[in-house]
Chain A
């Protein structure tokens, strides 16, 4: 079918297409307003995605927890099942992590508290050097986990 501007049925297709584009806008706005899982909006991409503990523990996909704290703190106590990966022994520990990591696996990195930077650094390196996408930093870190799992 020839489709130029003089063809009236072509103009009709275009008009209906604009209507369809506009129609989809209505539920989209409602979704952004009311959906419990609506995306966060900001102008710039947050350097590393922070994940609240409740969300991290709700992840249904395979998750690897990474402890970015120094060795002795990891040895003392850590999130059950968490692997150790700190920058002090990066080259030694990273192969152990890569051995269990699979594409699509979510990675949650934590360090001591909200203020520590080790988890952010580890997450950034995994993202940039190993191109691992689903890396999150645990909001509140180890302290938040302890607080939530008080005996």
Chain B
């Protein structure tokens, strides 16, 4: 169980770091991707395009820091739920758009991103449950 948790941290945090870095490379493009979802007022698009990738990077890295892990998992889980809602909304409206989840590397149809995010959300939720459980008393427990 413990080993699995350790192994799962790597993709759970790493995916967000990679996704964040890919988006930070071209924030203007990410802003266009967000705008194409037609979910937000235009004035909010550019600030979100600047902030969201860094939030992913910060929280993705924080998954590997013991004291910050649970907070990071909560935030990443919340983000993933928002992503799932946005993609579902775009999909049901029949929008012909890319997810933009991985910046320039996003070329897959929205349905793939949806499945990906649902699996990711499941992993994050599981990690959050396991990490949140109080362990046996030990001198390392803070």
A contacts, CB < 8 Å to B: 1, 13-14, 16-17, 19-21, 23-25, 27-29, 31-32, 35, 37-45, 49, 103-104, 131-134
A39: B residues at CB distance < 8 A: 27-28, 30-32, 45-46, 49-50
Q: Are B107 and A43 in contact (CB under 8 A)?
A: no
Q: How far is the CB of B60 from chain A (nearest CB, A)?
A: 10
A114 to B103, CA, bound (A): 31
Q: How far is the CB of A46 from chain B (nearest CB, A)?
A: 8
B55 CB within 8 Å of chain A: yes
B57 CB within 8 Å of chain A: yes
Closest to A17 in B: B71
- How many A-B pairs with Cβ below 8 Å? 101
A25 to B52, CA, bound (A): 9
B134 CB within 8 Å of chain A: yes
Closest to A31 in B: B50
Q: Are A41 and B71 in contact (CB under 8 A)?
A: no
Q: Are B50 and A38 in contact (CB under 8 A)?
A: yes
Query: Which one, B5-13, B80-88, B92-100, B114-122, is touching chain A?
Result: B92-100
B contacts, CB < 8 Å to A: 24-32, 35-36, 42-43, 45-47, 49-51, 53-55, 57-59, 62, 67-68, 70-72, 74-75, 94-98, 107, 129, 132-134
With known contacts A40-B28, A41-B46, A132-B96, A20–B134 Cβ distance under 8 A? no
Q: Are A21 and B95 in contact (CB under 8 A)?
A: no
Q: Are A42 and B54 in contact (CB under 8 A)?
A: no
Q: Are A24 and B58 in contact (CB under 8 A)?
A: yes
Q: Are B70 and A13 in contact (CB under 8 A)?
A: yes
Q: How far is the CB of A133 from chain B (nearest CB, A)?
A: 5
With known contacts A1-B132, A31-B24, A103-B96, A17–B74 Cβ distance under 8 A? yes
Q: Are A20 and B26 in contact (CB under 8 A)?
A: no
Q: Which of B71, B98, B107 contacts A20 (CB 8 A)?
A: B71
Q: Which of A1, A16, A38, A42 contacts B42 (CB 8 A)?
A: A42
Q: Are B59 and A20 in contact (CB under 8 A)?
A: yes
Beyond A20-B68, A32-B27, A37-B25, 6 additional pairs, beta carbon < 8 A = A38-B28, A38-B46, A39-B30, A42-B42, A43-B43, A131-B95
